[in-house]
Structures are given as C-alpha cells and as structure tokens.
Amino acid sequence: MRLLLALILLCASNFALAYIGPGAGVSFLGSIWAVLVGILLAVAAVLIWPIRYLIRRMRARLPADSSEKPSAEK
C-alpha cells in the first residue's frame, strides 16, 4: 500500500526547476577526481610492491664494499 502511494505521489509531482550553480559541479568533479586518484595510487602501490621487493633483494646480494680499487700486481 505504501509503495503504491509513493508511486502515485512520484508520478503526480512536478519537475523541480532549481538552479545548481557552477560551484557545486566543480566541487563534485574535484571530489570524484580525488577518489579516482586515490584508487589509482592504491592499485599502483600494490602492483609496484613486488618489484621494489626484488630490487631490494638484488641490492642486498651485491658486495657491501665495492669501492675498493684492485691492487696493482708487481
């Protein structure tokens, strides 16, 4: 019964002729942009993590003191 009444009222209502200023649109686009960039950075961090891990392991295998010059043979 409530659903029927809600549908009747919805169909009988007029359009809301309201003005939405440009500030609301800019705010909406800014918030959507922030959410999308946040999701993109989170996905990139998850995808790049294994690569960073491998690079750190490869660097750990290199000799610690590679700045020594080889001695000249006499």
Q: Determine the pLDDT at residue 12.
A: 85
Q: Of 73 and 38, which is predicted with more confidence?
A: 38
Taking the model in full, what pTM does it have?
A: 0.50
Gap between the Cα atoms of 54 and 47, Å rounded: 13
Query: Over the stretch 34-59, which tens digit does the pLDDT of each residue have?
Result: 999 999 999 999 999 999 999 999 88
Sheet strands (E) in 1-74: none
Mapping DSSP to helix (H, G, I), strand (E, B) and coil, where does residue 68 land? coil
d(Cα 18, Cα 20) in Å, to the nearest integer?
6
Residue 17 pLDDT:
81
What residue segments make up the domains of the chain, in order of their start? 21-60
